[in-house]
Each structure stands twice: as structure tokens, then as C-alpha cells.
């Protein structure tokens, strides 16, 4: 077997801002970016040359909100009405049969599916509750370890069934942190009333403080405007000095709240340095189910958060499970859905959309070495498209995916149109 190259020289790539450049990748990093047109043979013969011929280079995608433990369970579940409680109930039955091996196999499959789509960073929530105990966590941990050469996985311990409403929940969360979960999850709106919701938030921030961990909670995934735990999370973040370390996913009910209340809470979120993650795929199918006539889209107030300077990301959330029947871990697809659902189609909206699946989630991850700049980790994608907008429109996976300076995935798409005769060139795979 030939030895792997010491690095890569990518000649004539197109950057997102339209400039043409040559990129040298060495020692896992982007060693330098120079204007295109430099020598086409590297000084160092151990570098492999890629003639990119104007292909678009983007930083690798970051999926900041996934559920690897639940992936690919769709066909094992009983039929249900598609609402969040019904999906949780249906998944609960399947979760009884979770084993570390079963979870590791499915989680690994989704990690690889995402890598082929140019996603090299995945933050996944993993259920930690009285049904699964730590079996899901162990499975995802094994999958992350098995695929660490192609993808970085961050694990959030997720008490989906609540803290106050589940005996032993806090002990399990503590055990999950000791077993390797690096982020503290939560779902305060699942608790019965305001007091329990506040206690839920407080107990999980205590845990985060004790272990010096970031927090990433599922927040207000409801159409009901009276569901208001986002403000609890923002207040706790400020009170604990956890600014810049807390993420709130979904935040759907804020869209149903009145404008004045929403504006007040959004200001507090900005002060708390919160990250907001909207998950357009899942929320387009879960939310608004009770509406007739004008059916709500289920997304949070992305435009208002953006205007207030809050860090906003898009996440995949679910793939082929009880919550969402589609998905393949493609942030290109998630961004495409987000563009439609959040009206992000103007010129600067489209650039903003790229941030929501790259630099914004990297900021939430607190990955300072991320980006398409000299010195950053060489995690990047090459697309057969001249621009981000065209990559978004065409929805083709990246041709080449680099992770830590290694080529970890390649996809070739070939189409013949015209005199295509079956058995000669036609092959549908």
C-alpha cells in the first residue's frame, strides 16, 4: 500500500467570497492560502496535488444538533400521530431494545453518511433516562471512537423524560458525565409546571458547574405560547456567569408568543451569549399539526435573533426515526430547508445561511481552530459548483472531503443524457 501523502496542494479553488486561491494542507492544518496561479509543483514532493479547476472550497459542515442514538429506527416503530409526545412514546418502545451494539451500528452509519455529505463535526444528544440508562451513551461513544479518523463527535447527555418527573434522573446524568458525555443537556419544558421547570434548569446548571461543562438544552419545542422556559435558561446563564457556553435548541413556542415578550427574551438571550439552534427539518413536520388553514412553520424567530446579534445555527436533529422520516445528515439539505422555512433567500441571507451550518455552530462548539483560514484545522469540502448558492441549489454532495488534512470521502456523480442505451452506459445505483 502506498504511504499516505504528507499533505495536499489544492490548486485553483474558489473561495466562498469568490476569490481564487491555492491551498496547502500540511500537518492537519491549512498551512497557507495564496492567490491562485502559484507553481503547480510543490517544493515538497510528498504533497499530493489536486487540480481543483475552480471548484468551490467551503469549511467542513458542523451539525450542532443531532440524535445519533435514535437514527434509522423509523421502520421499527408503531404508527403514531406525528406529534412530539407521540413520537417520544413510540421511540420509548424501541429504546427498551437499545443495546450498545445496536446503537453503535446505527450511530456509525449516520456518522459515515454525514461525512460523505461533508459533515466532519457532530454534536449529538443521547437519551439518558429510565428506559435506556447509559446504553445509548455507550453505543454512541463506541461509534465516535470507531470513526474518530473521519469525524469529531461531541456527546450531550440528554434527559428527555425530565429530571423532576423521573426518579434517579440526576444520578443518571451524573453517571453519564462520568462516562464521557462532554455537554450537559436538558428539556425543561417537559416538566409539569413552572417550579419543576426552574428546578430542572437549576439542577442541570449545578451539574455543569461542578464539572465545568457547556450546556445544550432542548427548549420550548411546542406551539403553545405559554411555554416559556427559554427565559429561565437565559437567566440561569447570566446568573451563573456561563455566557457563551449555553445553547438552546428548537425554541419553537417563542414564535407563538407576542412580539413584546419575545423581544424582551431575545434581548436577554443576547446578553447571555446564548446560541439558538433551529431544526427546520424536524420542526416543519412536528409543529403546527393542530393548525388548520394557515399552518405554522414551527421555526423560532430566526430573523429577530439574527437582528439582536444572537448566534443562530441550523441542525439536522433527527434522521429516519420516530420524529422525522427522512434526512441523511446533510447540512446542505438542512440549509436548503432552512432557506425556505425561514425566508432566507435574499443576497445577504444566503451568505448568512452558510454561517448557520459552519462558523456559527463552530462558535457554539467553541472550536477556535475552525475555519477556512491559514492556521486552522484542514477540515474542508470541495464542491463541483462555482458558488455556495449553486452548491445549495444543486444539492450534490462534496466531491472531496478533508478532515484534519486527510482525504476522508470522495463522491463522483456522472450523468449521461442523450443516446443512453440500457446495458451500454445506463446504470442506476
Residues that bind Zn ion (CB under 5 A): 317
180 burial (CB, 10 Å; 0-12 / 13-18 / 19+) is middle
Q: Which residue is nearest to Zn ion (CB)?
A: 317
Neighbours of 387 (CB within 10 A): 15
Listed residue (282, 375, 286, 396) closest to 333, CA to CA: 396
Nearer to Zn ion, 125 or 228 (CB): 125
Active-site pick, 117, 138, 166, 221: 221
Backbone angles phi, psi at 330, to 5 degrees: -100, 115
Cβ contact 22:10 at 8 Å: yes
The smaller minimum CB distance to Zn ion, of residues 23 and 137, is found at 137
Whichever of 317 and 379 has its CB closer to Zn ion, that residue is: 317
User: Which residues, at least 6 apart from 253, have a Cβ–Cβ distance to it below 8 Å?
Assistant: 189, 220, 221, 222, 223, 224, 225, 226, 227, 228
- Considering the complex, what minimum distance in angstroms separates the CB of residue 147 from Zn ion? 21
Output 261 or 326, the one with its CB closest to Zn ion.
326
Tell me whether residue 311 or residue 381 sits nearer to Zn ion (CB atom). Answer: 311
CB of 323 to Zn ion, least distance (A): 8
**Does residue 93 contact residue 57 with C-beta atoms inside 8 Å?**
no
DSSP characters over 173-240 = HHHHHHTT--EE---GGGSSSHHHHHHHHHHHHHHHHHHT-EEEEEE--SS-TT---HHHHHHHHHHT
With respect to Zn ion, which residue has the nearer C-beta, 14 or 65? 65
What is the smallest separation between the CB atom of 366 and Zn ion, expressed in angstroms? 20
Number of H helices, E strands in the chain: 14, 16
Q: Which is nearer to Zn ion, 50 or 284 (CB)?
A: 284
Cα–Cα distance list, 413 to 12, 60, 194, 376, 407 (Å):
21, 20, 53, 29, 18
Query: What whole-number distance in Å separates Cα of residue 45 and Cα of residue 72?
Result: 44
**Nearest distance in Å: CB 44, Zn ion:** 45
Q: Which of 314, 311, 349 is nearest to 330 (CA)?
A: 314
Active site residue 195: no
In whole angstroms, how far apart are CA 99 and each of 46, 126, 129? Answer: 44, 13, 14
At 118, give phi and psi (nearest 5°): 85, 20
As a residue count, the chain comes to 429
Helix (H) / strand (E) containing 62:
strand 61-66
Q: Residue 109 has which C-alpha cell?
A: 452509519
- Tell the smallest beta-carbon distance from residue 71 to Zn ion (Å): 12
Least Cβ distance, residue 278 to Zn ion (angstroms) = 11
Least CB distance to Zn ion at residue 280 (A): 12
Active site residues: 221
Amino acid at each position: 500500500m502506498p504511504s499516505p501523502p504528507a499533505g495536499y496542494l489544492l490548486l485553483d479553488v474558489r473561495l466562498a467570497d469568490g476569490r481564487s486561491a491555492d491551498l496547502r494542507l500540511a500537518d492537519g492544518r491549512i498551512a497557507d492560502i495564496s492567490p491562485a496561479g502559484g507553481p503547480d509543483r510543490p517544493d515538497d514532493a510528498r504533497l499530493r496535488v489536486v487540480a481543483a479547476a475552480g471548484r468551490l472550497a467551503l469549511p467542513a459542515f458542523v451539525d450542532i444538533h443531532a440524535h445519533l442514538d435514535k437514527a434509522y429506527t423509523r421502520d421499527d416503530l408503531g404508527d403514531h400521530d406525528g406529534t412530539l409526545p407521540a413520537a417520544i412514546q413510540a421511540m420509548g418502545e424501541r429504546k427498551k431494545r437499545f443495546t450498545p451494539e445496536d446503537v453503535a451500528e446505527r450511530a456509525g452509519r449516520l456518522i459515515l453518511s454525514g461525512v460523505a455529505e461533508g459533515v466532519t463535526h457532530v454534536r449529538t444528544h443521547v437519551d439518558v433516562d429510565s428506559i435506556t440508562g447509559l446504553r445509548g451513551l455507550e453505543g454512541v461513544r463506541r461509534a465516535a471512537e470507531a470513526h474518530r479518523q473521519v469525524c469529531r463527535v461531541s456527546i450531550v447527555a440528554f434527559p428527555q423524560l425530565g429530571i423532576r418527573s423521573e426518579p434517579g434522573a440526576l444520578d443518571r446524568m451524573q453517571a453519564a458525565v462520568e462516562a464521557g458525555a462532554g455537554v450537559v443537556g436538558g428539556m425543561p419544558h417537559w416538566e409539569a409546571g413552572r417550579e419543576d421547570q426552574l428546578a430542572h434548569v437549576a439542577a442541570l446548571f449545578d451539574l455543569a458547574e461542578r464539572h465545568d461543562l457547556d450546556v445544550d438544552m432542548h427548549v420550548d419545542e411546542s406551539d403553545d405560547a405559554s411555554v416559556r422556559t427559554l427565559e429561565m435558561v437565559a437567566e440561569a446563564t447570566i446568573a451563573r456567569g456561563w455566557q457563551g457556553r449555553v445553547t438552546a435548541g428548537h425554541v419553537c413556542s417563542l414564535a407563538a408568543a407576542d412580539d413584546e415578550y419575545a423581544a424582551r427574551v431575545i434581548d436577554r438571550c443576547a446578553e447571555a451569549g446564548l446560541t439558538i439552534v433551529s431544526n427546520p427539518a424536524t420542526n416543519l413536520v412536528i409543529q403546527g399539526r393542530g393548525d388548520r388553514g394557515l399552518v405554522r412553520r414551527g421555526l423560532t424567530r430566526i430573523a429577530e435573533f439574527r437582528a439582536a446579534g444572537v448566534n443562530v445555527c441550523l441542525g439536522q436533529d433527527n434522521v429516519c426515526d420516530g420524529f422525522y422520516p427522512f434526512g441523511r445528515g446533510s447540512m446542505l439539505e438542512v440549509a436548503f430547508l432552512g432557506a425556505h422555512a425561514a425566508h432566507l433567500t435574499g443576497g445577504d441571507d444566503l451568505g448568512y445561511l452558510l454561517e448557520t451550518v459552519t462558523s456559527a455552530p463552530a462558535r457554539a462548539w467553541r472550536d477556535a481552530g475552525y475555519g477556512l483560514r491559514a492556521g486552522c484545522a484542514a477540515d474542508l469540502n470541495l464542491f463541483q459548483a462555482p458558488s455556495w448558492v449553486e452548491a445549495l441549489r444543486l444539492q450534490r454532495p462534496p466531491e472531496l472531503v478533508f478532515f484534519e488534512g486527510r482525504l476522508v470521502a470522495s463522491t463522483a456523480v456522472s450523468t449521461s443524457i442523450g443516446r443512453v442505451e440500457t446495458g451500454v452506459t445506463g446504470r442506476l445505483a
